[in-house]
Amino acid sequence: MNIRVVIVDDEPLARLAVKLRLARRSGFALVGEFGDGDSAHAGILALRPDLVFIDVEMPGKTGLEVLAALPPAQRPMAILLTAYDSFALQAFDLAALDYLLKPVDDERLDEALDRAQQAFPYRAHGRTLPPATPALRSFSVRVGARTVLVPVAQVERIEADGDYATLHANGKTWLVRERLHNLAMQLDARQFHRVHRSTIVRLDMIAELRSLTNRDALLRLHDGSVLRASRTYMPALAEALQHLDKTSA
Amino acid sequence: MKVETPLFVPVLAALPVAACMAILGLPVFGYEYAAAFRSLYFVACLVWLIPLALLQRAMWRRDWPWLRMALVLLAASYAMSILNAVLGQGLGIWLGLQKHYRWNELAEGLDGCWLALIAFCAVHAVAAYYLSLQQVRLHLAEAQAAARDAQLRALRLQVNPHFLFNSLNAISALVSAQSNREANRMLGYVADFLRATLAHDGRHEHSLAEELALLDAYLKIEQARLGERLCLNMKAGPDLLDNVMPYLMLQPLVENAIRHGIAPLSVPGRLDIRLEQVGGRLLVEVRNDGQQPAQPGCGIGLANVRERLRHLYGDDQEVETGWGQDGRFGVRIALPLRSMAAAA
């Protein structure tokens, strides 16, 4: 069964950007596009989509207002789009599925769509988390002609590198032919966390976390390396770190 | 430059003088009626202080030369003292101490009043001059701070556009080559960098964490452009993230290292960025592989950084640059160790 999608943005090119990427994925069907908040409100009530991409800043009603005005039972999964944000927290208040900064890149959009696909089957039975897929034990990495197994427990962080990903483990780096968002789904969410569109980090490697004025944060790992954590991942990261504290205490 | 002093200055200047006058201002006779004479001279002098102060302020405002002001004030205060003496004789007649005005004795015994009025003028002049000088100094300091601020701003802005246009150019090349995915990724990185710079509130300093986040956004762009040709190794010591750092100082250093050092190489180049606490200072070290140029030159970027650091920290900073024995170029900067919390 396809996920029925509505795109709401006052700029046609912005709608096009989502539409083109959506067309590359299977399992999604675009059922409507709206250019302003009022028609979007009426359209969502009439079409009953499963997922809505909605721009936050629009003339008339903002995306957040459109969502807030819908009765919770008829509120579709929402992925918020914004050019210059100050809405992250409100977005999470509205239980938005994800929150993307424009310009949206392919990885980040794919990730949001993955989330939608994971959440979709459980929507009918209330919002329960999908069960964790069996976590990966080790990565197999090809080095020249041989294949090396890198145990997941040794991996400290993973950086996106185009269509590849770089594993950092024990001071060495390994190149894996897999995109970051695919790897993210195979890792144990209690140990590894996405902190940026291009970075996954093992939670117990984090030595210092300092929040920045733009609500991103900077992480320093135990080995001295520094990483940026994007604000769109911060609420989830903060929660995971708190959980980590409790389990280690 | 001259600054108007507030009216409380002559009032304060008058206090000691008025007190002296009450004692000094006694004429040669009238000891039986000391209280009456003292009150008369005291009140009269107090009243005279008002026109005298106004006169002095008016001349001061018109920028009269000191000598002229002094002569006018001496003459005015002399006339006032004579009038005081007339009043004194009037009181004497009224009390029956003398029959009529003795005009030839007017000039006698008026030194007390005159001296008091002169003293008032002198105290007033010194106080007004001192206060005005203070205020001029304050204005001057403010003007200097504003000028320094503007200069720092200008130095800082030289950094940005240069690199932004290079990035746009790289994206344009990716679009021409139909590398859509890479072009999109680059756009995302440029947007990240812009967001990080736009979030800045215009201060000249921010925390090391903010600076590293900016640097990281910048490095992502360079990594996307150079791929494997850039081997990056960035390490920061513990408890430094909150240290004060000049805004956008690391990025031009690193841009230099990449553009002039690593990018021209035909083999992959290594870039090391180290941040440590050494001897009560924050040590920043950027080292890169590169080809030593035939003529040693110093880029705009480095001169800019030196200039800004000198403005911000005076002698409390140090910049060392040069090619090392290992054939790598290095920049070492020592900065004061001071946390943002302490600076606020």
In whole angstroms, give the CA distance from residue A224 to residue A227: 10
Same domain assignment for residues B117 and B204: no
Whether residue A228 lies within 8 A of chain B, CB to CB, comes out as yes
Q: Is the same domain home to B83 and B220?
A: no
Shared-domain flag, residues B75 and B101? yes
The pair of structure tokens assigned to A1 is: 């069964």
Per-residue pLDDT, B1 = 47
Instruction: Report how many domains make up chain B.
Output: 2
- Count CB neighbours of B157 within 10 A: 10
Better-scored residue on pLDDT, B16 or B281? B281
Sign of CA pseudo-dihedral A94, A99, A102, A104: negative
Kindly give the interhelix angle for A106-123 and B180-198, rounded to the nearest 10 degrees: 90
Which residues on chain A are in Cβ contact (under 8 Å) with B209? 210, 212, 218
At residue B124, the pLDDT reads 85
Can you read off the two tokens belonging to residue B19?
A: 């007190």
| Interhelix angle B8-24/B111-157, nearest 10 degrees | 160
Contacts 24+ apart (CB under 8 A), A144-153: A148/A174, A150/A174, A152/A187, A152/A188
**Higher-pLDDT residue of B223, A45:** A45
CB distance B66 to B74 below 8 Å = no
CB A84 within 8 A of CB A61: no
Task: Name the pairing type of β-strands B230-236 and B269-278.
Answer: parallel
Least confident of B35-39, B86-90, B133-137, B252-256: B35-39
Residue B157 forms contact with A (CB below 8 Å): no
Same domain, B107 and B250: no
Containing H/E element for A66? helix A63-69
Does B153 map to a domain? no
Q: Beta partners for B236?
A: B275
Highest mean pLDDT among A5-19, B11-25, B301-315: A5-19
Whether residue B228 is found in the same domain as residue B291: yes
pLDDT tens for A6-22 read: 999 988 888 998 999 99
Amino acid at A240: A
Residue B225 counted as domain residue: yes
B263 within some domain:
yes
Structural domains present in chain A:
3-123 (3.40.50.2300), 138-248 (2.40.50.1020)
* CATH code, B181: 3.30.565.10
Q: Which among B181, B209, B213 has the least Cβ separation from residue A106?
A: B181
Give buried/exposed letters for B67-96 (b at 16+ CB in 10 A, else e). eebbeebeebbbebbeebbeebbebbeeee
Q: Same structural domain for residues B123 and B207?
A: no
Burial of A143 per CB tally in 10 Å (0-12, 13-18, 19+) = exposed
**B2 occurs within a structural domain:** no
Tell me whether residue B62 is in a domain.
Answer: yes
Q: Which residues of A104-133 are buried (b: 16+ CB within 10 A; e: fewer)?
A: bbbbbbbbbbbbbbebbeeeeeeeeeeeee
Residue with tokens 């035939």: B294
Cβ–Cβ contact B199 with A under 8 A = yes
The predicted structure's pLDDT at residue A111: 87
Which residues does residue A219 pair with via DSSP β-bridges, in sequence order? A209, A227
Q: Are B130 and B222 contained in the same domain?
A: no
Q: Report pLDDT for A113.
A: 93
Instruction: Say what the pTM is.
Output: 0.64
Q: Per-residue pLDDT tens for B130-189?
A: 888 888 888 888 777 776 776 666 666 555 566 777 788 888 888 888 888 888 888 888
Size of the A and B interface in Cβ pairs below 8 Å: 74
Residue that is last in its domain, among B144, B171, B202? B144
d(CA A14, CA B28): 101
Q: Judge if B126 and B164 occupy the same domain.
A: no
Contact A180, A160 (CB under 8 A): yes
Least CB–CB distance from A225: residue in B191, B234, B238: B234
**Domain residue limits at B241:** 158-343
Clarify whether residues B171 and B136 are in a common domain.
no
Tell me the average pLDDT of chain B. Answer: 82
Gyration radius from chain B CA atoms = 37
Last residue of a domain, one of B88, B116, B144: B144
Token pair for A219: 């992480």
CB contact under 8 A, B195 and A107: no
Interface mutation target, options B182, B184, B219, B231, chain A, most CBs of A under 10 Å: B184
**For B215-249, how does the pLDDT look when each residue is reduced to its tens digit (9 = 90+)?**
998 898 888 878 888 999 999 999 999 999 988 88
The answer on B233 and B86 residing in a single domain is: no
**Burial of residue A181, with CB atoms counted within 10 A of its CB: 0-12 exposed, 13-18 middle, 19 or more buried:** buried
Instruction: Show which of B144, B173, B203 is a domain's final residue.
Output: B144
Question: Which residue of A81, A100, A105 is the best one to mutate when testing the B interface, meaning the one whose CB has the most B CBs within 10 A?
Answer: A105
Is the domain of B137 the same as that of B169? no
B276, containing H or E segment: strand B269-278
The string of pLDDT tens digits covering residues B210-222 is: 999 989 988 988 8
Tell me which of A114-118, A229-233, B8-12, B128-132 is least confident: B8-12
Q: Region B266-271: what's the mean pLDDT? A: 92
Q: Is residue B150 part of a domain?
A: no
User: Helices marked H in A70-201 — which ranges?
Assistant: 88-93, 106-123, 180-186
- Looking at this predicted complex, what is its ipTM? 0.71
Poorest-pLDDT segment among A6-10, A140-144, B104-108, B316-320: B104-108
Q: Would you say residue B27 lies in a domain?
A: yes
Q: Looking at the structure, do residues B185 and B119 belong to the same domain, yes or no?
A: no
